[in-house]
């Protein structure tokens, strides 16, 4: 595995800040999340991607990709996210007619943007949004590029806005206090209860459970779960083996630690 780490955007992005904090190797930027994920295990040994915001929720594209990608979560970091409205230097607020940003950032600043009363357009990343800034177009992002300035700070809806980032790899971490799994179930009464009952029987604290529709349009759902775990890997995989017997498909997504960046 090489020491390159893929991330979304450029040095002006929150993903770059997370990648700097989570990886010691060379950082390689990509324009979209799908490109970032595809790079992991190919041109890069690792990837840093956002997985959930504490206000706007899960980054669905990442969860949709995790089950089939063969990637594992090695570490997670909770990073405070403070958004700013960025304009071309010298542009007054009343001249702004359009605001561009990533869909997650737009959702995190919904109140401010609705009160601004302008056209809002989604972009692949906040870094790409900054490239759209002109005399009538502003961006929601972390920091301005050359020739740009911040015209409004802390425009996110929540004062404690934070995003959880994952460090992904084709290799597994063998330690950590958090475990993530994903599974498919038969569409029948009690199917979910059967899996959850295994965790309950072992006294496991499920900290998160998420359902996502299958991308094939079948109407079926896939479940993602996180839980605390402090015992041996032998005990862990024994429990997961019991849970898997209740599932149509099952995937271990990683055992890892979660840390908080300053201010999170």
One DSSP character per residue, 183-211 reads EE--SSTTHHHHHHHHHHHTT--EEEEEE
Nearest to 42 by CA among 75, 69, 10, 8: 69
8-state DSSP, 172: P
Query: pLDDT value at position 263?
Result: 56
Tokens of residue 216, six digits: 């094939």
Per residue in 153-203, pLDDT (tens digit) is 999 999 999 999 999 999 999 899 999 999 999 888 999 999 999 999 999
% the chain with pLDDT above 90: 87
Average pLDDT of the residues of the chain: 94
Per residue in 239-259, pLDDT (tens digit) is 999 999 999 999 999 999 999
Domains annotated for the chain, with CATH where assigned, are 1-80+161-171 (3.40.190.10), 84-155 (3.40.190.10), 172-256 (3.30.70.260)
> How many other CB atoms are there within 10 angstroms of residue 92's CB atom?
8
Distance CA 105, CA 111 (A): 12
Cα 57 to Cα 17, 61, 87, 103, 142: the distances in Å are 20, 12, 27, 12, 19
Q: In the structure, what pLDDT confidence band is assigned to residue 218 with cuts at 50, 70 and 90?
A: confident
Query: What is the arithmetic mean of pLDDT over 211-234?
Result: 89
Q: Specify the higher pLDDT residue, 1 or 211.
A: 211
Per residue in 69-116, pLDDT (tens digit) is 889 999 999 999 999 999 999 999 999 999 999 999 999 999 999 999
% the chain with pLDDT above 70: 99
Query: pLDDT value at position 219?
Result: 76
């Amino acid at each position: 595995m090489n020491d390159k780490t893929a991330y979304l955007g450029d040095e002006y992005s929150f993903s770059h800040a997370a990648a700097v904090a989570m990886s010691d190797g060379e950082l390689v930027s990509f324009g979209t999340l799908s490109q970032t994920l595809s790079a992991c295990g190919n041109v890069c040994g690792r990837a840093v991607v956002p997985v959930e915001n504490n206000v706007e929720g899960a980054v669905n594209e990442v969860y949709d990709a995790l089950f089939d990608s063969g990637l594992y979560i090695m570490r997670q970091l909770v990073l405070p996210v403070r958004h700013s409205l960025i304009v071309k230097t010298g542009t007054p607020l009343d001249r702004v007619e359009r605001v561009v940003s990533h869909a997650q950032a737009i959702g995190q600043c919904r109140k401010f943007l609705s009160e601004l009363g302008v056209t809002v357009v989604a972009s692949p990343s906040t870094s790409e949004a900054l490239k759209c800034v002109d005399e009538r177009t502003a961006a929601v992002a972390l920091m301005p590029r050359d020739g740009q300035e911040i015209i409004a700070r802390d425009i996110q809806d929540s004062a404690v806005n934070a995003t959880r980032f994952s460090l992904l790899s084709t290799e597994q971490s063998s330690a950590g206090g958090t475990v993530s799994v994903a599974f498919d179930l038969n569409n029948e009464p009690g199917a979910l209860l059967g899996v959850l009952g295994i965790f309950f029987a072992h006294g496991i604290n499920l900290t998160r459970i998420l359902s996502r529709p299958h991308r094939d349009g079948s109407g079926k759902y896939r479940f993602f779960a996180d839980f605390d775990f402090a015992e041996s890997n032998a005990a862990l995989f024994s429990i997961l083996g019991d849970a898997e017997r209740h599932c149509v498909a099952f995937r271990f997504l990683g055992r890892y630690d979660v840390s908080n960046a300053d201010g999170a």
